[in-house]
Amino acid sequence: MGLGKTLQVISFVDVLLRHTSARTVLAIVPVNTLQNWLAEFNMWLPAQEALPQDYNPEEILPRTCKVHILNDEHKTTVARAKVISDWSTGGGVLLMGYEMYRLLSLKKSFVTGRKKKPKKPTGPVIIDLDEEDRQQELLKGKRLK
């Protein structure tokens, strides 16, 4: 704690989005630090509208990207999809917790809206030879009658 890791990541993201063709950044962080990450972005890279009217642009550069946050407030898949869609089309940073990422990455139908058919198990086929012989004998016996 207190080594400046968050500030380093925020600085890197700012440089990446300002000086490269990158448009989006996904930050997966512990869920209990989501609000802290948002506060740190607002402190170190304030949005244009959060700056005072008389700020000096040589001293403070407002952030050029939007910071999106996907947390438990977004209860439905539709609400989550809207946040992700806004981030994907508009660019910026998307902050989400590990568990939310896991849930969304496991939902294959999340993107397409279609449900996949369950796959048949593809394991080894085990044949009981004694049972097969008994079945054959039963079939032979029924044919003879």
Per-residue H/E/C for 73-99:
CCCCHHHHHHHHHHHHHHCEEEEEEHH
Q: Is residue 145 part of a domain?
A: no
Q: Which residue has the higher pLDDT, 109 or 66?
A: 66
Q: Is residue 140 part of a domain?
A: no
Tell me how far apart the alpha carbons of residues 69 and 87 are, in angstroms, rounded to a whole number.
Answer: 9
Q: Is residue 54 part of a domain?
A: yes
Q: Is residue 139 part of a domain?
A: no
Lowest average pLDDT, out of 8-12, 59-63, 64-68, 99-103, goes to 59-63
Q: Is the pLDDT of residue 112 over 60?
A: no
Task: Please state, in angstroms and as integers, the Cα–Cα distance from residue 144 to each residue in 84, 133, 138, 141, following that order.
Answer: 69, 17, 10, 5
| Number of domains comprising the chain | 1
The four Cα atoms 7, 81, 98, 5 give a dihedral, to 10 degrees, of -10
Q: Is the pLDDT of residue 118 over 90?
A: no
Q: Is the pLDDT of residue 117 over 70?
A: no
The residue range of the domain holding 22 is: 5-117
This model's pTM is above 0.75: no
The arithmetic mean of pLDDT across residues 46-53, rounded, is 80
Q: Is residue 35 part of a domain?
A: yes
Q: Is the pLDDT of residue 145 over 60?
A: no
